[in-house]
Amino acid sequence: MKKALKIFGFVLLTILILLFIAPFVFESQLKDLVKKTMNDNLNAQVDFQDIDLSMFRSFPKATLVIEDLSIINNAPFKGDTLALGEEVTLEMSVRELFKSSEEPKQIDELKFNNTYLNIKVDSLGRANYDIAIEDSSSTKGESKPFLLDLKHYEINNSRVKYDDKSTKVALDIEDLNHEGTGDFSLNKSELKTYSEALVSLDYDGTNYLNQNLVSLDAVFQMDLENLKYTFLENEARINQLPLTFDGYVQVNEDNTEMDLSFKTPSSDFKNFLAVIPETYAKNIENVDTKGGFIVNGRIFGKSDDTYIPKMDIKVSSNNASFKYPDLPKSVQDINLDLVVLNDTGLVEDTYVNINNATFRIDQDRFTAKGKLSNITENMLVDLAVKGSINLANISKAYPLELEQDLNGLLTADVKTSFDMNSIEKEQYQNVKSSGAASIKDFRYSSPEIPNEVKIANADMSFNQGDVRVPSLKLTSGQTDISAFGSLQNFMGFLFTDQALKGNFQVQSNTFSVNDFMVAETEEITTKDENGQDKTVAKSTGKEAVKVPSFLDMELRFTANTVLYDNLELKNAKGLLIIRDETARLQDISTNIFNGTIGANGLVSTKNPTPVFEMDLDLNSLDIASSFNSLELMQSLAPLAKAIEGKLQSTINIKGNLNEDLTPQLSSVAGNALAELLTAEINPEKAALLSKLDSELKFIDFNDIDLSKLKTRLSFDNGMVKIAPFDFDIKGINIQVAGSHGFDMSMNYNLKLDVPAKYLGSEVGSTLGKLSGESIANTMVELPIGITGTFNQPQVKLNMEQAVNSLTQKVVEQQKRNLEDKAVDAINDILQGKRDPNKPFNKNDSTAVKNSKTDTTKNEVQTKKDSMNQAQQKQVKDVARDILGGILNSSKKKTDTTKKN
């Protein structure tokens, strides 16, 4: 007995050792085998991170795990991802490991975890999943390395996207969990499956399912030899709507043949509520319902390049009602008769008849009838709606989660028929509409806007493709609007993604832009009470004005008062064109700052950073008021705060805007021509003027008259450049040129031409001695450099240049005087009127020795040079004393050169 136990223990130990070392022995072989199999069979770039082989994970079977599998397409979908798999698991018998790489291996179980499958079909019908390489060895009877002998397969937590450009079908299956158990080794067997997923379906731009929960619990009979699959036992759910299926699907070589019938297992009206996504329908178990709701349909025939299966689907309800236990009102008299038919198998012959759709809440009844035909081509629409409904009763009868309450009385009696091509091509003459609709006492509130919007009444009259709006009255906050006009493409706006086009005349007593400032939000992911992720919108604390993307409007408006930020505009009128998220202003005029403004330009919020371009005509604006209210004025003309008067200007400006549509000053660029109509200066209000006033004693800035002063300026990159301009202060000409920044830094140059008559009698007599005559009209040029900032200016008087300038003027005058006397003397000598030995200047101690013309000229020139050198130093010293006296003298110094 002990010997037997020892043998058993030894065998067991040997088996365990073999199981432990087997992965190391076979793993490399399997890696090579998988890569070879994929490369030999797939026309794509296939890769994986690792392969793991375990003997214990599913003992007694071997488990092969492929980690991070990726399949990337070659042409014609080069670079597209076909599949990504976090983990692919294959289970097989251990004996399969001992077969050579050329022998077929049977896979018993296959699992895909966290897989993404991206299926594409282009407009030519080429599919990116068509990557299998044709098996040329099959004609020789050779076998494949792997055989699919599945008993069980699973797809867990995966996603499948299907985008078919040729048929305009887009299918997105998320959170897919699917499993099947059967025997694929048999020609005929049963396959038991369960599937659930969130399904979104779009066809030709129309959304039919949006993350609807779909599940299917079914047993199929599989005929793998004929590729025929027959429903045996099954139940499907779309949201909470149960459906049962009967019939089969058979895949033939040239087509797919099917005959499927489906129906609701009961006629309870809860089936209707179950069609609505559970998020909106909530818990329908306790809803009190009466009447029935039946879905009964059949899809049958062949599907190929020409035909689709025929269909006959009926949806009906008769005198039904429902009431949620927690809501005060019920929906009654619900009648529904809807049919989806296709008798020919041609896709364009599919149509939907809405024979009747009615409901009633209290005394309000609403009815709709219509027909949709030629659905997949140029869809024809024929609809009629009639009735009235108190919108507030909808949320009292049905559990809607709305950010704002519905309210107001909607009344409609409208008929319309059109084809979608005419709508898309804006051929509204082909639209036939008639009837009228109105809404009264409508109120709209949202956390995104600060004030409730109230529509007292809005009337609409339908005529062909146009919708006339004879009356619209709206208020919000301080804003009131009365308007009338027309909409050109109301049907295009409702049934396609076209912008709403129209023309309106708008009048307003008060229009406040602040009433329509949108509170910006950002998405934040948090956990709900069940620990699930939920995304909520949270205000950022900022406000923004957005030009609506869905509007294509021309608005001719007049407004008595427009409030924008801290500005109050009066008598505003003009044309506002809203198109492509851009507001264009044409011939705008308004009164502000006791003057008028004309404007033409645009504001666009199409891009993340709003932009603007504007031509402004400012006429007779009050300088002080505009400076105190406009940040742009403070940046363009910082000294305006010290000026009282009127301004006239033309400004061309463009740049970026902040989210509240105020200019980003660092981005603005343009130019301006400004004229001061009337102006008085108070130097004490500006540090620069006060500084100059103290430095220049001979000027009183209170006496400056800037009326009619004109200047040009340009601005870009936060800098303002001033074109040179002149003005006069009681005979003193001042030239200004330079630039400053929006940061209040500055670099300016001033040139002052100071007349000698302001220098006093002592200075005048001194210069008179030097020049030999009065120089009352002589000008002294004084350059001044201004740097620093407007609040802390630095003023530098260029005394050296001023002295040199004054000296040069006096010397030049002396030269001219000497030349004139010398020429006179020479002429007298030549004419014999003067003794050449007699000096020609009483101050000249040098006698003229020679009477010859050339000798006399040389001596005259020598005398002039000698005098220039002597007098230039004397003049320069006197000029320096003079200028020092000017700058240090007191204001309004008495001019002693003037007679009493």
- State the Cα–Cα distance between residues 301 and 260, nearest whole angstrom: 9
Looking only at the bridges linking them, the beta strands covering 105-121 and 146-164 are: parallel
SS3 391: coil
- State the Cα–Cα distance between residues 692 and 748, nearest whole angstrom: 13
Burial class (CB in 10 A: 0-12, 13-18, 19+), 205: exposed
Element (H, E) at 69: strand 61-73
**pLDDT for 18:** 39
**pLDDT for 373:** 87
SS3 269: coil
Q: Which amino acid is at 385?
A: V
Looking only at the bridges linking them, the beta strands covering 228-238 and 146-164 are: unpaired
Angle between helices 799-830 and 761-771 (to 10 degrees): 40
Contact 378, 430 (CB under 8 A): no
Structure token pair of residue 837: 């030995």
- State the Cα–Cα distance between residues 628 and 594, nearest whole angstrom: 14
Contact 355, 372 (CB under 8 A): no
Residue 779 phi, psi dihedral angles, 5° rounding: -110, 140
Dihedral angle of Cα 176, 177, 180, 185, to the nearest 10 degrees: 60
Q: Residue 416, Cβ neighbours under 10 Å: how many?
A: 22
Element (H, E) at 300: strand 288-303
Q: Which amino acid is at 615?
A: D
Q: Which of 474, 433, 432, 445 is nearest to 457 (CA)?
A: 474
Q: Which of 576, 566, 784 is nearest to 660 (CA)?
A: 566
Across 74-145, the runs of DSSP E, i.e. the strands, are 81-93, 105-121
DSSP 789-816: BSSSEEEEE-HHHHHHHHHHHHHHHHHH
* CB half-sphere exposure, 214, CA atoms < 13 A: 15
Count each helix (H run) and each strand (E run) in the chain, helices first: 12, 39
**pLDDT for 146:** 53
CA R_g for the chain = 47
- State the Cα–Cα distance between residues 95 and 107, nearest whole angstrom: 12
Burial class (CB in 10 A: 0-12, 13-18, 19+), 21: exposed
**pLDDT for 894:** 41
Looking only at the bridges linking them, the beta strands covering 50-58 and 61-73 are: antiparallel
Q: Which residues pair with 405 in a beta bridge?
A: none
Contact 586, 577 (CB under 8 A): yes
Burial class (CB in 10 A: 0-12, 13-18, 19+), 796: exposed
Q: Which of 378, 384, 383 is nearest to 424 (CA)?
A: 378
Q: Which amino acid is at 124?
A: L
Residue with tokens 């009385």: 409
Residue with tokens 């800035």: 701
Structure token pair of residue 219: 């047993």
- State the Cα–Cα distance between residues 591 and 619, nearest whole angstrom: 10
SS3 218: strand
How far, CA to CA in Å, does 317 sit from each of 270, 296, 335?
11, 12, 5
Contact 788, 869 (CB under 8 A): no
- State the Cα–Cα distance between residues 270 and 292, nearest whole angstrom: 8
How far, CA to CA in Å, does 378 sit from each of 131, 492, 578, 831?
35, 14, 30, 115
pLDDT averaged per 10 residues, the chain (length 900): 41 39 52 68 81 66 82 87 87 68 71 90 83 60 56 89 83 91 83 90 73 88 87 84 88 87 84 69 76 90 86 91 89 93 88 92 92 84 91 85 76 89 80 89 71 86 85 89 88 76 91 70 59 55 68 90 82 89 89 89 87 89 80 80 82 86 84 81 75 72 73 87 82 84 87 67 49 58 85 81 68 64 59 56 42 48 54 57 54 42
- State the Cα–Cα distance between residues 311 and 452, nearest whole angstrom: 49
Where residue 49 falls (left for φ over 0; alpha for ψ -120 to 50; beta otherwise) is alpha
Contact 129, 82 (CB under 8 A): yes
**Which residues, at least 6 apart from 28, have a Cβ–Cβ distance to it below 8 Å?**
none
Looking only at the bridges linking them, the beta strands covering 500-512 and 551-564 are: parallel
What residue spans define the domains of the chain? 33-167, 239-401, 779-888
- Sign of the Cα torsion 869, 873, 879, 882 reads negative
Contact 292, 334 (CB under 8 A): no
Structure token pair of residue 139: 């004609």
- State the Cα–Cα distance between residues 538 and 402, nearest whole angstrom: 16
Contact 581, 610 (CB under 8 A): no
Contact 676, 645 (CB under 8 A): yes
**Which residues, at least 6 apart from 629, have a Cβ–Cβ distance to it below 8 Å?**
566, 567, 593
Structure token pair of residue 609: 């950073």
- State the Cα–Cα distance between residues 41 and 43, nearest whole angstrom: 7
Structure token pair of residue 336: 């529904």
**Which residues, at least 6 apart from 736, have a Cβ–Cβ distance to it below 8 Å?**
711, 722, 724, 725, 726, 727, 748, 749, 750
- State the Cα–Cα distance between residues 48 and 303, nearest whole angstrom: 38
Contact 71, 83 (CB under 8 A): yes
**pLDDT for 516:** 67
Q: Which DSSP letter does residue 684 get? A: G
Q: Which DSSP letter does residue 688 get? A: H
**Which residues, at least 6 apart from 512, have a Cβ–Cβ distance to it below 8 Å?**
477, 478, 479, 562, 563, 564
Task: Specify the length of the chain in residues.
Answer: 900
Looking only at the bridges linking them, the beta strands covering 364-373 and 380-390 are: antiparallel
Angle between helices 853-888 and 799-830 (to 10 degrees): 150
**Which residues, at least 6 apart from 571, have a Cβ–Cβ distance to it below 8 Å?**
558, 559, 560, 589, 590, 591
DSSP 576-630: EEEETTEEEEEEEEEEETTEEEEEEEEEE-SSSS-EEEEEEEEEEEEHHHHHHH-
Q: Which of 462, 383, 464, 461 is nearest to 422 (CA)?
A: 464
Q: Which residues pair with 173 in a beta bridge?
A: 160, 199
- State the Cα–Cα distance between residues 211 and 239, nearest whole angstrom: 9
DSSP 705-736: --TTEEEEEEEETTEEEEEEEEEEETTEEEEE
